[in-house]
Amino acid sequence: MTTLQPLEGFSIGITADRRWEEQAELLRRRGAAVLHGPSIATQYLDCDDTLRAATSELIQAPPDYVVATTGIGMRAWLETAQTWGLDTELLAALRGARIVARGPKAAGVIQSFELEVWSRAQTERLDEVLAILLDEPLEGRRVALQQYGEYAPTLTSAIADTGADVVEVPIYRWKVPHDHAPALKLIEATCDRRLDAVTFTSAPAIQNLFLIAEENDLADDLRQALNSQVAAACVGPVCAQRARQEGIEHPIQPAVGRMGLLIRALSDHLQHSQRQFTLGGINIVTQGSVVLIDGQAIELAPREHGVFKLLAERPGVVISRPKLLEQVWGSPDIDPHILEVTIGRLRRRLGPLGHALRAISGRGYRLDPDALVGADATGTA
């Protein structure tokens, strides 16, 4: 008896560039197929004179407050200072400051360098970080602001407006990848419903994906797909907020912004679509593109999966040809011959269960339980 893995039968797109291999491995271990189409690129500024100048300035005149916006940024800064031989001096300068962490990742990195987290934004949002700072007497105080991958001038100006001396620490920048082809391939797969979900681990990854889609006249199709058959999974509240701003109505989001928890939340969501039923004495499990027929797993092609899923959701009920074409191919005006060809392939793939796929003249197709009564192992009566 075959047992399906939690994500077996599902295809998932990854938009991240950093740590995407780790994410892909977590998904594959659960049985998923993965398509990598990065919509973001990380440009580190370790050779940038501005970063070294900011570091030297903070060593010479230590900050009263430090805003740590990301874990990757804080780690990169401290490790870069080590390559310059300035790590001991920088840590000493930061040790006397009140450090505000935007989220758990930033807090974890700070603590790993034996620095103390004074306060942490529970929502992981920059507006909460700002609220924490504005409760403090900032006038005349020095604030070191680790810049987010996406430049946030409003945060800088809001702190500076209190009379504080703000030192910006630019560690890395997020940008659109030079090569759009992998992201475009992911967009097209999403629009064609060949993916079951797309993961986002940063807000700019969402913004950039829609920018690339817009350049190729696919933004509306992408939005429609992510609001229907394709799930959008966001690592945290900032990312989920950006998804909603782009018109994605119900992004999946774990309670805490962690990669493992993101995969778990996505897995739980997709497994809700699994169906188990009996048709004409045959035990059937559908999960993504996999159909388990009396314990035997059969992998369906994307269009075959789409057709079977619609028919299996309502056994015995006729589904019209226009509805099948619209739901699976995206338009009721597609040549119906392509549906007939897909049904024929689907019958052959399903073996004995294929006998239940019945064409109803002038109406459409249905899964007919009565057609299986008396059928032999080859699917013939």
The region of weakest confidence among 64-73, 331-340, 370-379 is: 370-379
Of the two residues 158 and 377, the one the predictor is more confident about is 158
Q: So what's the pLDDT on residue 46?
A: 64
Question: Is residue 40's pLDDT more than 50?
Answer: yes
Tally the C-alpha atoms within 13 A of residue 254's C-alpha that lie toward its C-beta: 17
Instruction: Quick: pLDDT tens for 42-59.
Output: 887 766 788 999 999 999
The percent of residues above 70 in pLDDT, for the chain, comes to 95
CB neighbourhood size of 374 (10 A): 10
Question: Is residue 260's pLDDT more than 60?
Answer: yes
C-alpha span between 183 and 165 (Å, rounded): 41
DSSP β-bridge partners for residue 122 = none
Give me the mean pLDDT over the 230-256 stretch.
94
Question: Is residue 151's pLDDT more than 80?
Answer: no
Q: So what's the pLDDT on residue 270?
A: 96
C-alpha span between 44 and 174 (Å, rounded): 9
Q: So what's the pLDDT on residue 377?
A: 39
Find the Cα–Cα–Cα–Cα dihedral 143, 149, 150, 156, rounded to 10°: 0
- Contact by Cβ (8 Å): 51, 173: no
Instruction: Provide the whole-model pTM.
Output: 0.78
The percent of residues above 90 in pLDDT, for the chain, comes to 68
CA angle in degrees (0–180, nearest 5) for 39-41-44: 165
C-alpha span between 225 and 254 (Å, rounded): 21
Pairing of strands 11-14, 33-36: parallel
Q: So what's the pLDDT on residue 381?
A: 37
Instruction: Quick: pLDDT tens for 347-375.
Output: 999 988 888 999 999 899 999 887 765 44
C-alpha span between 287 and 29 (Å, rounded): 16
Instruction: Quick: pLDDT tens for 76-134.
Output: 999 999 999 999 999 999 999 999 999 888 999 999 999 999 999 988 888 999 999 99
Q: So what's the pLDDT on residue 375?
A: 47
Question: Is residue 141's pLDDT more than 90?
Answer: yes
Q: So what's the pLDDT on residue 376?
A: 46
Residue closest to 130 by CA, chosen among 150, 109, 156? 156
Of the two residues 374 and 285, the one the predictor is more confident about is 285
Go through the domains of the chain in sequence order and give each one's CATH number. 11-40+177-271 (3.40.50.10090), 43-174 (3.40.50.10090), 275-372 (1.10.10.10)
Q: In whole numbers, what is the pLDDT of the chain averaged over residues?
A: 91
Question: Is residue 310's pLDDT more than 70?
Answer: yes
pLDDT band at 147 (very low <50, low <70, confident <90, very high): confident
Return the amino acid letter for 376: D
Q: So what's the pLDDT on residue 379?
A: 40
